[in-house]
Amino acid sequence: MAKFNFRLFLTGLLTVAAALAFVAFDVRQAAAQAACETGCGEPTPYPTYSPSPTPTYSPSPTPTPTYSPSPNPSPSPSPYPSPSPSPYPVPSPTPTGADSSGNSIGGLAGQRFNQMITNRVLGTVLLGVNEQINCGDCISAFGSAGSFSAGIHGRKELTNNLSLLAGIAYTHYNEGGYKITSAPIGAFALRYDFTDWGSSRPFFDVGAILTPWEKARYTRSYDTSLGPVSVTSSTNASNYAVYGRAGWISRLSPRDEVAASIEVWQLWQRVSGYSDNAVAFNPFGASIADGTDRTSLVKIGGQWTHLFGSNIETNINGGWVQSFASHSGIVATVSGQDMVVPTMGNQGWFEYGGRLGFRVQKGWIVDLFANGTLGPQPVGNTIHGGVGLRINY
């Protein structure tokens, strides 16, 4: 039987204990070293930034759309749009009406024809159109309305057969779209009356009417797809007329005189050039060159002068007028129509006049008078009336 060796047992037990203690020491040392490496470093003079953990995205029950830019992004509209133009602007409509604008030049030609006739009618007042053919020397101051006119005229017997008729006036008038201002009119004529032939005899007149300068405003109207257009332009003009007259006078009694005559007139009218430029309210502008209008007239007429009692004088006169060889001086360049040259056809109309005179005292007579036209456009129906004070001497 083996003998238990207590010493050897004790020695082995101590050896095992020492080995376990050594292993435990190594484990603790390794743990301490690991803990020191993660949290026990040397302090830094400035604290370092340790970012907080990035939160993770948790989708809500209602998904929110995300923006993914396209290769060619287009600008999203602002809730308050700016006035910058759209990349695809809506084109504004192009107005139409160039043909109507071109036709309006014919209206200008009509206005200018009427101007020639009205200027002549006003000038004949200075030549005694409302007075008897044969009478003594006289002078008259007058003013008229309808067309404003103020002036003086009269006659002077140069010989037993030859008389001078003359006058001057300052006028403003307007008819059918045009307006004339600051227009001085002068007129003169020589009348040869064969007084030595007796109470029934021939007579002849030659004379002229001159308006060397006047301010003129013409209105041109036409229609476009955007609405009606009316544009007025200003320029200068002048009028000239010459005439010859041949007639027959009869003194039926000391109170009555009748006369019939035929007249031939040549009229010229010079108008300076002007333009109405194309703008928003006038899309089809026009440029009018300098030009001269002209026409010839023939008038066949008559008159009657009568004395009622000893204080009231009356005169009525009238006649038919026919134009011929009329020519418009307008040469217009119109937007969209190039050059426009209107024609001015021949016209026929009736002219009338009358006077009522009151002899307030010997040699002093207050006259009421009127003159006008009746006919189609462009002459139309006009009337010019006034009052005058006539002095016989």
- Written as tens digits, the pLDDT of the chain (393 aa) is 444 454 555 555 555 455 544 544 454 454 444 444 444 344 444 444 444 444 444 444 444 444 444 444 444 554 555 545 544 444 456 778 888 888 999 999 999 999 999 999 999 999 999 999 998 899 999 998 878 999 999 999 999 999 999 999 999 999 889 999 999 999 999 999 999 999 999 999 999 999 999 999 999 999 998 889 999 999 999 999 999 999 999 999 999 999 999 999 999 999 999 999 878 788 898 999 999 999 999 999 999 999 999 899 999 999 999 999 999 999 999 988 889 999 888 999 999 999 999 999 988 999 999 999 999 999 999 999 999 999 998
Q: What is the DSSP letter of 146?
A: T
Dist CA 199 CA 277 (whole Å): 63
- What pLDDT sits at residue 53? 44
Amino acid at 96: T
Q: Are strands 286-288 and 178-193 parallel, antiparallel or unpaired?
A: unpaired
- What pLDDT sits at residue 121? 96
Name the token pair of 187: 């007129």
- What pLDDT sits at residue 98? 84
- What pLDDT sits at residue 12? 55
- What pLDDT sits at residue 145? 84
Q: Are strands 332-334 and 364-374 parallel, antiparallel or unpaired?
A: unpaired
Q: How far is CA 181 from CA 52, 234, 382, in A?
A: 94, 11, 18
Burial status of residue 382 (CB atoms within 10 A of its CB: 0-12, 13-18, 19 or more) = buried
Cβ–Cβ < 8 Å for 305, 131: yes
Dist CA 231 CA 277 (whole Å): 10
Residue 212 C-alpha from the chain's centroid: 26
